[in-house]
Amino acid sequence: MIFSLRRRSRFSFLWRRGYLWSMLVLLVVTMLATLVWLAGLYEASQVQGKVERDAADAVNDIRTMLTRNLQDMQALQASSPQLDVWPVQAAALLRQHRELLRIEWRSASMVTLVHVDTPFRPLVFSRLGRENLHADVALACANARRFSGPAYSPSYFLPQDDGAGQEVMDLCLPLNSGARLSGYLIASYSLPTILSDTVGPQLTRGQEASFTELDGTRLALHGSMRRGTRIFTGQQVLSLPGNTVLLRLDSWRAGPDLFPNVLTALVTVLSIALLSVLAMLGRDMRRRMQAERNLAEALAFRKAMEDSLVTGLLARDTQGHIRYVNPAFCQMVGYSAEVLLASNRSASAPVPLPADSLMEGVLPPLLDRHIGRVLRLLPPEPEPVPFWPEDMAQAYRAKQLARGLDSGSAREGLETVFVRQDGVRFPVLIFEAPLINAVGTQTGWMSAFVDISEQRRVEDLSRASQERLQATARLATVGEMASLLSHELNQPLAAISSYATGSLNLLKDDDSAAPTPHDVLKADLAGALRRIAEQAERAGKVIKSVHNFVRRREGDREGVQPQALLEAIMPLVSLQAHKLGVQVQIHVDDDLPPLFCDRTMVEQVLLNLARNGMQAMDQTSVTTRLLALDLRLDTHTGGVQFSVADGGVGIPVEVAKQLFTLFFTTKQEGMGLGLSLCRTVVEQHGGILEFENRSPQGTIFRFTLPARPSGN
C-alpha cells in the first residue's frame, strides 16, 4: 500500500513536471510564431506608412505646382497686356508648363477674345471643338464669381484625333478692372501630364499613381506595377475650389519570407539557443532547488539560534561599518537594526593615537615586527556609533584599533560602557573574533556583548550590605562607648553639682548686715556657681537621655512650652554666634500649645541645627550673617513647627542624597552622627525632619512636634 502511494505520488510529480515543460515548449513555439507574424505585420505597416507618406507628399507637390501656375497666370494679366502682345506671353508660359493645354482670354460675357494652345500637343480641342465644352467652363467661372477667386471645373474626358483621349480640368480666373468684372482667364490642365511631370519623378519601379473620383472611378494613371495580393494603397484628397479628386498611390511588394528581416532571424536563433539552454537548466534546477532548501533550513536554524540568544552580536567589516546586529543587541542598546546599519560612515583621516591611550607600549613592537601586516589591517577611523558615549568615543577608537591589530587580545574579554537610546549608561563585556570567509580571507570582526548591569547591581548590593554591616558594627561600638561614658561621667558631674551647691551654701550670709562691695562680688560668684550647677545638671540629663536612647528606653517626657525649649539653648547659641559674628533672629507665634516631649533631646536637636547653620555661614564671605529661629503653629496638625534658616552655601545635590546617612560628613572633624541622631529623635516624637534650599542662598531645616494631649 505504501509502495503504491509512493509510486502514485512520483507519477503525479512527473506528470506535473512534464506538463510544465510542455507548457514551456508551447510558449516558446508560440513566441516564435508570434514574432514571425509580428515581424511581417511590422514590415507591412512600414510599407503602408511609406506609401501613405508618398501620397501625401505627391498631393503637396501638385498643390504647390497649381499655386505656382496660378501666380504665373496672375502675373500674365498684371500689366494689362494688349491683345496682340498677350499671345506671345501666353505661349511662353505654355512652353514652361507642359501640364497646361490651352490658355484663353475671355470677356465678361464669356466671349473668347484670344487663346493659345500648347506647342507640345497641337489641336487638342480639334475633335470636339471648344464650344461644345462651354458648360464645364461656365460652371467654373460661375464658381469663380461666387468665390471672388480662382475656381476649377470638374474633370471631363477629351477625345483626340488619334483615337486616344485624356482627362482635362479647367481653371477659371476672374479679371477685375477696379471693382468691375472685366473678363476671365481660362487654363486647361491635362491630368495625365500632371501625374507624369509632378508625381512621376518620385515614383519607383512597382508603383503607380492615379487620379480617381470619390466613388473610385479612375480618371488618369501613370506608372505600372505587378498585380498580386501584396498591394499597398495610399489615398490623399486633393481639394480644389470647385472640384475635389483623390490621388491614389499603389505599390506592389512581395510577401515576407519565413525570416522577413534580420531582427526576426536573430530572435529566432536566440530562441532556439534558449531551448537548448533550457535542457541544461533543467538538470541544474533540481540541484539548485535542493541547495536552496538546504541553505534556507541552515539560515532558519541560524536565525532561530541568534534570536534566542541573550548575548548581543555585532558584525563589522574591515572598514568599521556595521553589517549585522541581532535582536538581543538591538534590545540591549534600544536602537533598531535599521538605525544601527544606517549610522555608519567611514572617515579618511587616520586614527589618532594619544600618548596616554592603551596603544602606548603595544603599537611600536607590532610595527617593528609586523609592519606589513599592520599597514594592511589598519582601518580608517570610524565615526562614533550611537551607543558610544560622546565623552569616551576617542578612547573607544583607540581600543578598537588596538584589538584589531592584536588578534590574540581580541578574544579576551574587554569591559566598557555603552549608552542606551534613552541616555542611560550600562556596563558591557565584549568578546571579539575575526570573520573569515570561504577562501580564508578576513572580512571583518564579530563582537559578542554581554550586559553585566545585573552583575554590577548584585555586586553593588553586596558592597552596600557590607558597608551597612560595618556601620552597624561601628554604631554598636558607639553605643557601648556612649553607655560607658554616661556611666563614668555621671560621678564627676554629680561631684561638680555638689561642689557648686556647697559653695553656694558657704557664700550665704546673714541678710541683716549691710551690703558691701565684697558682698557684690560674692553675689556675682554665686550667680556663676548657680550656672555651673545648672549646666552640670543639664549635662547629667543629656547623658541620661543618650543612655536611654542607646538602650532603646523611653525618655522622660513632660509637658513643655515651646518658648522654654528655645530659651534653654539661647545662652549657648548666643555664645557661639558672638564668636562667629552671626546675628540671631527669633520669631515665636503667640499662644503656641504646650508640647509633650523629652525636653533635653529636643533642645539638643535645636542646638545641633543652630550650630550647623552658623558653621555653614562661617564658610561664606557674606558680610551679614543671619540665623533665623522660627516657632510657628502648624495649622494642618495642630502642633508646633520649628525652623532653623541660615545664609550659608547651601547643600549640593550629591550631598543631599546622603545627608542623613550614618557616618557621612563634610566636616574634617565631624563623625557623621549629628543629623542622623537628630532625625531619629524627631521621628521618635512623631515628627519629620526635612530641609530645603533658601533663596537667595542658604538652607532651611524644619520639623514639627505634636501638641500635648489633653490628658497629660
6-22 in b/e burial notation, b at 16+ Cβ within 10 A? eeeeeeeeeeeeeeeee
Phi, psi of 251 (to 5 degrees): -135, 140
pLDDT of 225: 65
- Residue for cell digits 548686715? 513
656-665 in b/e burial notation, b at 16+ Cβ within 10 A? eeeebebbbb
pLDDT of 378: 46
Phi, psi of 560 (to 5 degrees): -135, 140
Amino acid identity at 37? W
CB 618 within 8 A of CB 698: no
d(CA 11, CA 181): 100
CB 622 within 8 A of CB 591: no
Q: What's the average pLDDT block by block, 10 residues per block, for the chain (712 residues)? A: 51 64 75 75 82 90 91 84 86 90 88 88 75 81 88 87 82 85 90 88 82 87 72 88 89 60 67 76 80 86 80 81 85 83 54 39 43 44 68 68 54 77 84 82 83 82 73 60 58 66 67 58 68 69 60 67 88 83 90 87 88 83 82 88 89 81 70 79 87 87 86 61
d(CA 313, CA 338): 15
pLDDT of 369: 45
pLDDT of 512: 47
CB 700 within 8 A of CB 644: yes
CB 186 within 8 A of CB 192: no
Amino acid identity at 496? I
CB 428 within 8 A of CB 396: no
Angle between helices 2-76 and 86-96 (to 10 degrees): 160
CB 431 within 8 A of CB 448: yes
Q: Residue 255 gets which letter from DSSP?
A: P
d(CA 565, CA 600): 9
Phi-psi bin for 181: left (phi > 0), alpha (psi -120 to 50), beta?
beta
For residue 327, which of 296, 344, 303 has the smallest C-alpha distance? 303
C-alpha cell belonging to residue 111: 466671349
pLDDT of 255: 55
C-alpha cell belonging to residue 121: 500637343
Distance of CA 482 to the CA centre of its chain: 69
pLDDT of 349: 39
For residue 651, which of 661, 636, 666, 663 has the smallest C-alpha distance? 666
The number of beta carbons lying within 10 Å of the beta carbon of residue 76 is: 19
With a CB cutoff of 8 Å and minimum separation 6, the contacts of 102 are 115, 116, 117, 118, 124, 125, 186, 187, 188
C-alpha cell belonging to residue 264: 526576426
CB 610 within 8 A of CB 629: yes
Please provide the DSSP assignment of 193-244 as one string. Answer: HHIIIIIGGG--TTEEEEEE-TTS-EEEEEE----SS-EEEEEEEEEETTEE
For residue 388, which of 433, 423, 352 has the smallest C-alpha distance? 423
pLDDT of 548: 60
CB 341 within 8 A of CB 322: yes
With a CB cutoff of 8 Å and minimum separation 6, the contacts of 318 are 377, 379, 442, 443, 444
Starting at the edge strand that comes first in sequence, how are the strands of the sheet with 207-212 ordered? 218-223, 207-212, 243-252, 231-240
Show the domains of the chain with their CATH numbers: 59-252 (3.30.450.20), 309-451 (3.30.450.20), 555-705 (3.30.565.10)
CB 682 within 8 A of CB 595: no
pLDDT of 371: 40
Amino acid identity at 355? A
Amino acid identity at 429? L
Question: Could you tell me the pTM of the whole model?
Answer: 0.39
Helix, strand, coil % in the chain, rounded to nearest 5: 50, 20, 30
Total residues belonging to the chain:
712
d(CA 326, CA 336): 10
d(CA 400, CA 357): 12
3-state secondary structure (DSSP) of residue 281:
helix
With a CB cutoff of 8 Å and minimum separation 6, the contacts of 42 are none
C-alpha cell belonging to residue 665: 560628613
Q: Residue 707 gets which letter from DSSP?
A: B
